[in-house]
Amino acid sequence: MRSEQGRVVVKARPTFLPEQEALGESISIPSSDKVALASGKDRVATEFTADGVYLPKDGNEAVYKQEVQPLVHSVHQGFNATILAYGASGSGKTYTMLGNKDSPGLANLIIEDLFARYDPRTCTVAVAIQELYNVSTSM
């Protein structure tokens, strides 16, 4: 099986009004592969490089089409794939992975895509979603 380096993608969530009032703009996206975070009293920005950066206006479907759908294609060819959502509480991981009624999450889009590619009567698809929180595991 082939091995590929992982990709790091940033999906910025919208800031809430209390955050905007208290902190001002804490995130900026200077280019398609950079994100800058301002923190502390002096509001000095630290810049990070990523393989992809998505704005708050970019929905889960945009992230899916650009970042995840190629992985589903690889799974269809017999390879394994992993998606890891990482961040602080309230950073949008659950919304990105599971979505809501109006905007399906990546997990829903993956399942829809897999079953569109396979005949569910003749194949078995195994999917695991796991949440790690405070070093405990729940499913």
pLDDT tens-digit map of 98-130: 999 999 999 999 999 988 888 878 877 777 888
pLDDT of residue 41: 66
- Residue 24 banded pLDDT, cuts 50, 70, 90: low
For residue 99 the two structure tokens come to 């979505």
Is residue 97 within 8 Å of 129, Cβ to Cβ?
yes
Angle at 77 between CA 9 and CA 98, to 5 degrees: 40
Name the residue among 97, 100, 81 with its Cα closest to residue 131.
Answer: 97
Question: Mean pLDDT for the chain?
Answer: 84
pLDDT at 136: 55
pLDDT at 135: 65
Query: Which spans in 80-123 are helix H?
Result: 93-98, 106-117
pLDDT in tens, 34-85: 888 876 667 778 889 999 999 888 999 999 999 999 999 998 888 889 999 9
Percentage, residues of the chain above pLDDT 90 = 35
DSSP structure class, residue 29: E
pTM: 0.79
pLDDT of residue 109: 96
